[in-house]
Amino acid sequence: MKKLKSLFLLCSVCLLFTQFISGQEKQNFLFTKGDNNISVITMGDISSPHCTVIEYPEFLVLHEIPNIPIEKNKQDSIKVDNDKAKPLITFIDSIYLNKPIKYILNSHHHSHSLSTITSFLENGAKLVTTKDNIKTQNKKGLFGDKTSEYYSESIIQISSDTTLLSETKNPIEVLYLKKSDYNSIPTKIYLFFNFPKHQLLATSCMVYLKDINEKYGYKGIVYNNRLINVKKIIADKNLKVKNILQLYKFTYENGLRKPPIFSISHLENVLEHSWHRRKLSEHFQNMSYEELTTDKDSLLIYHIENDIYHIILNHAVYELIEKKDYQKAVLLAQILLLYEPDRIDYIDTLGEAHYNNGQINMAKHYDEIIKESKSNTEDIGLAMWETNQKDRQKNSN
């Protein structure tokens, strides 16, 4: 009887531990239901990339499988780990009642787009990607101790515009894009996936839109050349698109979180009324010294409230240094460091601005901070500022 009690206690502890581990894994996945059978699963917190699930009557289609943060302190997001994928498959099965996954649509080879695949292929899914993606993913070890050749029957390699499910009422148009045609795509070859029935274009990380901020309107949104390329692709391919599906962010409707689907009209308004990154940098550079001094706090608040990409300010600082407008460069570098206080490279930016402004003691102060940090400081600090200044003087002569 005593042995039975001990065995029962041991089993109970094992069960609780299993439930705890299982609970931990489930907490890494957040399901957000959308309209028209299009939903997303977030791989971690809500700011991380999404796996989009498109539900068909008899099967599922997944768009991207980004980094799955199951194991703590594991940084290699692309290297295969079957155990890492299985909890996601289990999670999807629990929501869609074991409906099979037919296709996994992969736009490019970066790990925020595809970080694991073998378990899905072994479960019967087909990977839709490109030869260029496969070549890179083989090098990264995506297929573990095997190569893509082992899974060749489960991989559809796209080499031109293609239509999947062309014989059905729900075709998927695969758009084969080349960097030589659209210079802002992230990789040499890139795939968009168009769902004509939904009038939805899946663009992965080529689009990064967000809702407008009531306080700033469209002036709180910054875009880059990728968005311009997306509009051109839609026109070139003569796509009848109403909405864009992106890899990050969410939309919100009546306080409810929705998949990151934004209307084409919103995209066009962003292009017309928002800041291009280069134009916003020029705007900061063109502000007078008096304006920057007076509006320093409000500029910092503007960046924080709108989550403005910090590179824009950093670019503006160095443009001002090139123009020998050193006082303004120092002011913008101070705002930048307040916005990103833990970045050693922005301590370097402020130090270089002070150095060029003739404030050598201030420059030496920031040089000491850089030296005391544990970062790789080979290409930053006082010696590099001196070299950069000499190079600028040579180029100006």
Domain boundary among 273, 305, 339: 273
229 with 89, same domain: the answer is yes
Among 218, 190, 214, smallest CA distance to 204 is for: 190
Domain boundary among 273, 291, 313: 273
The CATH code of the domain that includes 312 is 1.25.40
9 located within any domain: no
Q: How far apart are CA 101 and CA 334, in angstroms?
A: 51
At 382, the amino acid letter reads L
Regarding whether 262 and 287 lie in a shared domain, the answer is no
Q: Are residues 127 and 37 in the same domain?
A: yes
The C-alpha atoms of residue 222 and residue 277 are separated, in whole angstroms, by 6
Residue 215 and residue 361 in one domain? no
CATH number at residue 84: 3.60.15.10
pTM of the model: 0.85
Domain span at residue 243 reads 28-273
Q: Is there a single domain that holds both residue 105 and residue 152?
A: yes
Pick from 273, 304, 338: which residue ends a domain?
Answer: 273
Buried-state track 13-31, b at ≥16 Cβ within 10 A, e below 16 = eeeeeeeeeeeebeebbbe
Count of the separate structural domains present in the chain: 2
Q: Are residues 118 and 231 in the same domain?
A: yes
Residue 221 and residue 329 in one domain? no
State the alpha helices, DSSP H only, in 82-224.
Answer: 82-96, 118-122, 131-140
Number of residues written out for the chain:
397
pLDDT of the chain, 397 residues: tens digit per residue: 444 444 434 343 333 333 333 333 444 799 999 999 999 999 888 888 999 999 999 999 999 999 887 554 444 444 445 557 889 999 999 999 999 999 999 999 999 999 999 999 999 999 999 999 999 999 999 998 899 999 999 999 999 999 999 999 999 999 999 999 999 999 999 999 999 999 999 999 999 999 998 899 999 999 999 999 999 999 999 999 999 999 999 999 888 999 999 999 999 999 999 999 999 999 999 999 999 999 999 999 999 999 999 999 999 999 999 999 999 999 999 999 999 998 999 999 999 999 999 999 999 999 999 998 877 667 889 999 999 999 888 887 7
**Cα separation of 40 and 260, whole Å?**
8
Residue 160 vs residues 48, 174, 239: alpha-carbon distances, Å = 30, 8, 16
109 domain residue, yes or no: yes
Do residue 290 and residue 388 come from a single domain? yes
